[in-house]
Structure formats: C-alpha cells, structure tokens
A and B are shown apart, each in its own frame.
Chain A
Amino acid sequence: MKLGLIWFWVALCCVPLRAQIQFGEAPVAHKGHVVLVSDALEVMAGEPQVVELRFRVDDGFHINSHAPKDGLLIPTVLRLDSGGGVKVVGEQYQAGSAFRLGGASGEVLDVYQGEFRVSVRMVVPKGASTLTGALHYQACDNASCFPPRTLPVMVAVTGE
C-alpha cells in the first residue's frame, strides 16, 4: 500500500516534468518561412511509385494551398525535374485548410500551415539518384505578406 502511494507520488512528480519540458528542437523561423523536411527517399526501382515530399511552414505563417479560392492569390506549386534517370509522372497536392483573415468577417483563405505534403508519382532507376526541382509559394502572417519565393528542392533517392 505504502509502496503504491510512493510510486503514485513519483508519477505525479513526473507529470509536470513531462508537461513543462519541450522535447525536441524549439521552433526556428526560417528566412523564407518554408523548409523541405524530406531529404532522402527509398523507392522501388523501375516501376511507378508514389512518394510523399514533406514541407514545413514556420509557426505563425501560412502559404496559399495549391488551389486558393481567390484567383488573385498565388498558389503553391511544386515543379520537379525529370532527369538523371528519375522520371516524374505527376504530383498530387494535399488539400488546404481554411484560414480566416482579419476576424469574423474576414476573407476565408485556403492555406497550408505547419507540415504539408505533396505526393509525387515517379519512376526511379536502381541505385542512387537525386530528385531536383523547386517549390513556388507565397507566405503571409496574420498582418503582412512576403513576396513570392522559390524554395529549391533536392532529395536523395535510392532505387532498390
């Protein structure tokens, strides 16, 4: 009984410890506010395969999805190069999420926040190759926007 109480007490002590310590890296703001998370892929060689490229938008920022509702907004577009034995067949974009600008009566945008993924269908050769391309996007926070930017994409691909 006593021992049970002691373990309960220790577990209780650990709760605030777990809750208060942030494990992993603290959020870092990047110059363009978007980074490529995927840096290496392993794919079955010689036949069409779908892989996901992961990107991350800095906390507090958003970029337009691939299909923004307003025609004036700049969509996020991933352009990949076919070359070096890698053949890109097509891309499929994650759906955006709703983001209301400027309070209850503001315009509702379709955006990516945090991590988002683009599925890429491609054929890779056996062995090591590199997938290259660029992500074109335009970032904003709640009150201001940045000019459109292009993020270079370079991912090591191993065909097995």
Chain B
Amino acid sequence: MARRLAIVLLLVVGVTLIILSGTHNLRQRQSVIKQAQQNEVALTPADASGSSGDTASDPLAPTMLGKVAPAFSLVDLNGKKVSLADYKGHPIVLNFWATYCGPCKLEMPWFQQLAGKYQAQGLVVLGIDEDDGMATKDVDAASKQIGVSYPILMPDDKVSKDYQLSDYLPETYYIGKDGKVVDQTIGAHSKNELEADIQKAIGTGGL
C-alpha cells in the first residue's frame, strides 16, 4: 500500500514538474518575444508605413518623414562648398556613415552602383562622414578604398543636429524632388531595399 502511495506520489511530482516547466517556459518565451520586438523596432528600417508616430518614446523613430530636408552647406573632400540647395529638384540620397562602420561600407558600393543606374533620372547621392575629428585626407583614402566616387562631405555639428541623428550608423535619408524626406532608414539594408527607396524618391515630388 505504502509502495503504491509512493508511486502515485512520484507520478504526481513528475507531472507537476512538467507543468511547472511548461509554465515557466511560456513566460520566458513571452518575455524574450517582447524583448525581441523591442529590439526589432530599434534595428529595422523606419518607414512611413511602419511608423507608430510615437517619437517621444522611440529615439529611433523616423522623425523626418514628410518634412522638408534641412538645408546645409558643407565642404567636400576637395574643399569645395556643397549645399543641399545645389540639387534642388533632384531626388537625393543622403547617407551618413563613418570609416569605422562595417555595415556602412557594405552599403556604400551599392549606392555607387545605383547612382550610376539612376543618373538619367537625376539621382544625386551624397555621403556625410560622421567620424569624429578624422582628417579629410584619411576620409578621402577610406572612401577610395571603399570604392565610391560620389561627393563625400565633411560634417559640422549643425547638420547632425538638424537631421536628428541617433547613435546608430548608417543613417540614410531619401529626399524627393520636392525636397521632402520620403524615407529615413537606420542600419544597413539590402541592395534591393536601397533601390526601392531610391525609386520612391525618384517618383515623389515631381511636377
């Protein structure tokens, strides 16, 4: 009798352990999924359709969408002054990058290729280097090593502030012909995604 009781007891303990582990696992998974969703918000491209509009709680929210791209006047690697206004009426890709940023260097050759592909549509690609205090000649050497020939501009504090840059690089702004930001992305994306955003900029704001 006692032996049967012990058997039943052990079975009950075993089943209880399974239920407990299942419950714990469920909670753990829910917690991980929640955390993963939060991470996803931080790292996926921010676009108008996916935006919740809650920019106060999400520092990576696409804050510039639909707004006129802030004007700037910077110098390129040859010391020539380049202003956003110089390209009025053109679709523009404005790519913030840094020499230490591997994902930036992954995207930049694609921007170079796409600049050539959509040259007839007036596409302009501009890179803005976000290295802190790096000499122009070193940025020039890096851009040549990466294989880009589109204008690379040296930053000032104002342009980073005006474009409300986050802590992440790369950050890219796609500007339509009307000068408004049609897409804003953070982190590197596939070539197809870059091209889709470029097509959006080309197709937006024309007369």
Q: How far is the CA of A6 from the CA of B102 in the complex (A)?
A: 57
Among residues of A, the one whose C-beta sits closest to the C-beta of B138 is A72
Residue pair B18, A16 in contact (C-beta under 8 Å): yes
- Residues of B within 8 Å of A72, CB to CB, are 99-100, 105, 142, 145
Kindly state whether residue A156 has any CB partner on chain B within 8 Å: no
Stretch at the interface among B23-31, B77-85, B113-121: B23-31
A residues 116-154 with Cβ under 8 Å of B? 138, 140-148
- Residues of A within 8 Å of B22, CB to CB, are 16, 20
- Residues of B within 8 Å of A101, CB to CB, are 102-103, 106
Cross-interface CB contact of A10 among B10, B24, B105, cutoff 8 Å: B10
Residue pair A148, B100 in contact (C-beta under 8 Å): yes
Residue pair B21, A143 in contact (C-beta under 8 Å): no
Among residues of B, the one whose C-beta sits closest to the C-beta of A18 is B21
Number of interface residues of A (CB under 8 A): 32
Kindly state whether residue A104 has any CB partner on chain B within 8 Å: no
- Residues of A within 8 Å of B25, CB to CB, are 20-21
If A21-B21, A145-B168 touch, whether A107 touches B102 (CB-CB below 8 Å) is yes
Residue pair B169, A145 in contact (C-beta under 8 Å): yes
Cross-interface CB contact of B17 among A17, A102, A106, A148, cutoff 8 Å: A17
Nearest Cβ distance between residue A5 and chain B, in whole angstroms? 9
- Residues of A within 8 Å of B170, CB to CB, are 144
Q: Is the interface of B mostly helix, strand, loop or mixed?
A: helix
Cross-interface CB contact of A140 among B15, B24, B102, cutoff 8 Å: B102
Residue pair B102, A10 in contact (C-beta under 8 Å): no
Q: How far is the CA of A2 from the CA of B145 in the complex (A)?
A: 73
If A17-B21, A145-B169 touch, whether A9 touches B14 (CB-CB below 8 Å) is yes
Nearest Cβ distance between residue B129 and chain A, in whole angstroms? 12
Nearest Cβ distance between residue B30 and chain A, in whole angstroms? 12
Q: How far is the CA of A20 from the CA of B100 in the complex (A)?
A: 40
- Residues of B within 8 Å of A13, CB to CB, are 13-15, 17-18
- Residues of A within 8 Å of B169, CB to CB, are 144-147
Cross-interface CB contact of A146 among B10, B24, B142, B167, cutoff 8 Å: B167
Residue pair B13, A10 in contact (C-beta under 8 Å): yes
Among residues of A, the one whose C-beta sits closest to the C-beta of B38 is A29
Cross-interface CB contact of A145 among B7, B14, B104, B132, cutoff 8 Å: B104
Q: How far is the CA of A141 from the CA of B167 in the complex (A)?
A: 13
Nearest Cβ distance between residue A148 and chain B, in whole angstroms? 7
A residues 51-86 with Cβ under 8 Å of B? 60, 72-74
Nearest Cβ distance between residue B175 and chain A, in whole angstroms? 21
B residues 62-112 with Cβ under 8 Å of A? 98-106
Q: How far is the CA of A101 from the CA of B105 in the complex (A)?
A: 10
19 contacts between A and B (CB under 8 A): A2-B7, A6-B11, A9-B11, A10-B10, A13-B18, A17-B17, A17-B18, A21-B21, A22-B28, A101-B102, A107-B105, A140-B101, A143-B189, A144-B103, A144-B168, A144-B188, A146-B168, A147-B169, A148-B132
Mark A residues whose CB is within 8 Å of B. Answer: 2, 6, 9-10, 12-14, 16-17, 20-22, 26, 60, 72-74, 101-102, 106-107, 109, 138, 140-148
* Closest CB pairs A-B (n = 7): A143-B187, A13-B14, A144-B187, A145-B101, A17-B21, A20-B25, A144-B168
